[in-house]
């Protein structure tokens, strides 16, 4: 018999759902009625799923750091070409 599980992270937020062939005893797997994406990003507390969702935080990308890195690489390549490194 197939079992449906929600995988939760350390904050008890669902990060995935799956359907397995057997029952699994794992604290990060919560048995659910059906394999449904409804559970994604919801918090599981005291046996209840939250109504609100907790979307993952976006990671910001600092273009200034990348630009400085590219300038450093370009400088080093130029120095190598000129025999300075």
| pTM: predicted TM-score of the whole model, two decimal places | 0.65
pLDDT band at 75 (very low <50, low <70, confident <90, very high): confident
CB 3 within 8 A of CB 31: yes
**CA nearest neighbour of 28 among 46, 43, 4, 12:** 12
Show the CA angle centred on residue 48, arms to residues 8 and 5, nearest 5°.
40
Q: What is the pLDDT of residues 37-65, one digit of tens each?
A: 999 999 999 999 999 999 887 666 666 67
List pLDDT tens digits, range 1-13: 899 999 999 999 9
Neighbours of 49 (CB within 10 A): 15
Cα separation, 15 vs 76, in Å, equals 42
| Mean of all residue pLDDT scores within the chain | 86
What does DSSP say about strands 3-8 and 14-20: parallel, antiparallel, or unpaired? antiparallel
């Amino acid at each position: 018999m197939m079992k449906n599980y929600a995988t939760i992270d350390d904050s008890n937020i669902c990060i995935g759902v799956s359907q397995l062939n057997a029952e699994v005893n794992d604290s990060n797997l919560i048995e659910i009625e059906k394999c449904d994406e409804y559970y994604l990003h919801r918090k599981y507390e005291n046996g209840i799923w939250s109504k609100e969702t907790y979307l993952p935080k976006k990671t910001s990308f600092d273009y200034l750091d990348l630009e400085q890195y590219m300038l450093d690489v370009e400088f080093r390549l130029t120095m190598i070409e000129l025999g300075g490194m």
